[in-house]
Amino acid sequence: MSRKTTILALVVLVGLAGACAKQEQTSPAEEAWSELVEAWNGLETAEDKAALAENYLAEFPDTEHSGSMAGMVVYYRGHEMEDPQGAYDVVASIFEQIEDPEQRFEVGMEMLSLADSVEVPLELAEVADNLAAERPLTYGEHQQVVEAAADLEEWSIVAAHAGAATGLATPEAYQADYPDREFTDEDLAERAQRREATSLAYDGWAAYNMGDTEPAFARYAAADDIGSVSYLGVPNTPLNTFWGRSALGEGDFDAAIELLGAEAAFGNDGSGAEVYLREAYAAQNGNEEGFDEFLWATRNELATTVDDFTLLDYEGNEISMADVSTGKVTLLAFWFPT
Amino acid sequence: MELPRLQPLYEQYKDQGFEVIAVEAKRDTERAKKFIEEKGLTYTMLENAEEDAEIVGSMFKVRSFPSSFLIDRDGKVMYFHLGFEAGDEEHIEEEIKTLL
């Protein structure tokens, strides 16, 4: 989960860069920030990027960029350079200097994201409560707490924040989070549904881990009723992973295999669904023999056939997917330049 | 997958029937063209259509980038990939080889 958060953080950084480049330079911190943004695009290595972010944090620990810079340090030093302790030490050294509750929250969450490899004395509940004392948390902030708490297996925190997040999973709240963007009603409804299904899935998973089996399965069923699915026709939330793992825990191997199979088949993962699917498969069949063939068959059975589409290339020619890919193996990649 | 990492895969497997189609989601045409030229990308590059005809969000429901779908010779979507971690290309190469 922290990986996905990092991807978003990178996009946010670029967004900030665009906004800041147009502003008048008003303070040394902002001036240094403009220089950082300019230098950033020329950097190739994780070492250089980590160093740039660390220098900025050391000089200007308490700015509106503290959270995103801490994110860069965690990503580049912590993950890419595989030095989580070093990343933690850098961020922890400036944490106490941050006064703004929103930045404290962001930086604190970055520190906690390292908790699986580093000793983090910070209490997640404290980080969340500190911001909540200032103003109500947004959906996104509740969800950040939920994901961190699930990683830390702090189930009562997961339950509390997932419950609050479910209440905020409305089209109106989604629009309020992105005041400058225009959405169709349909689009807003779909995004709100995805949020609601996600929060319900986590709420169910917390309940299951606290021994409340029946309420857990009721929440999974409620999340399933919302019907939030990806292009592949499988939930675009962690529902199947949590539901499947709960079914596995109850010894319902058929259900576990069906739920985890849909999740693991296309590799749209990070959830570890395949590990638990393998476990369920072995439990049902007595051993793991034939698992790879089974996974392959599941994939074939569930696979969507892609619809053709036509778009323009950069010379203005109309190109259809079928023109390029009929009879071929095709990687269809969606991107945007940064 | 980051686009430049796909270029060597494309060059290595295109003769065996492998194609790459990259759809730029935000119609940031000038920056896209500059990027494509700078990185020397030679596979199929398309621009998302505008508004109602756009396919990235409405047809493929893609919300996060970079997102990739791997499609087999019969047009079935067999693999999905989100993000750009180092080492991803090795995993995706395994999937491509399985389908070829």
Residue B13 or residue A231, greater confidence: B13
| B12-67 residue pLDDT tens | 999 999 999 999 998 889 999 999 999 999 999 999 988 777 888 888 888 888 88
Rounded CA separation A187/A171 (Å): 9
| A245-272 residue pLDDT tens | 999 999 999 999 999 998 888 875 566 8
Written as six digits, the tokens of A77 are 């030093």
| A105-124 residue pLDDT tens | 999 999 999 998 999 989 99
| CA-to-CA separations, A59 to A47, A51, A63, A252, in angstroms, rounded | 18, 12, 10, 56
Decide if B17 contacts A328 (C-beta within 8 A): yes
Residues forming a β-bridge with A262: none
How high does pLDDT run on average in chain A?
A: 89
Q: Do B45 and A314 touch (CB under 8 A)?
A: yes
For A182, name the nearest residue in chain B, comparing CA atoms only. Answer: B51
Segments in chain B forming alpha helices (H)? 3-13, 29-39, 88-99
Please give the model's pTM, rounded to 2 decimal places.
0.84
Q: What is the ipTM of this complex?
A: 0.96
| pLDDT at residue A4 tops 50 | no
| pLDDT at residue B76 tops 60 | yes
Query: Chain A contacts of B18, Cβ < 8 Å?
Result: 328-331
| A322-335 residue pLDDT tens | 999 999 999 999 99
Output the pLDDT for position A268. Answer: 54
Q: Do B1 and A314 touch (CB under 8 A)?
A: no
Q: Do A332 and B71 touch (CB under 8 A)?
A: yes
Output the pLDDT for position A8. Answer: 45
Min Cα–Cα distance to chain A from B75, Å: 5
Query: Chain A contacts of B95, Cβ < 8 Å?
Result: 267
Rounded CA separation A40/A277 (Å): 42
Q: Do A329 and B17 touch (CB under 8 A)?
A: yes
- Interface list for A 109-138 with B (CB within 8 A): none
Confidence at A38, pLDDT banded by 50, 70, 90: confident
Q: How many contacts (CB atoms, under 8 Å) link A and B?
A: 167
> A299 CB near a chain B CB, below 8 Å?
yes
Rounded CA separation A146/A154 (Å): 9
Q: Do A328 and B19 touch (CB under 8 A)?
A: yes
- Interface list for A 239-268 with B (CB within 8 A): 266-268
CA A26 from chain centre, in angstroms, equals 34
Min Cα–Cα distance to chain B from A232, Å: 8
Average pLDDT over residues A132-148: 95
Confidence at A1, pLDDT banded by 50, 70, 90: very low
Output the pLDDT for position A23. Answer: 53
Average pLDDT over residues A291-307: 91
> A321 CB near a chain B CB, below 8 Å?
yes
| B84-99 residue pLDDT tens | 776 778 888 988 999 9
Contacts of A81 (CB under 8 A, 6+ apart): A46, A47, A50
Query: Chain A contacts of B64, Cβ < 8 Å?
Result: 4, 7-8
> A311 CB near a chain B CB, below 8 Å?
yes
Confidence at A24, pLDDT banded by 50, 70, 90: low
| pLDDT at residue A70 tops 70 | yes
| pLDDT at residue A338 tops 80 | no
Average pLDDT over residues A188-208: 96
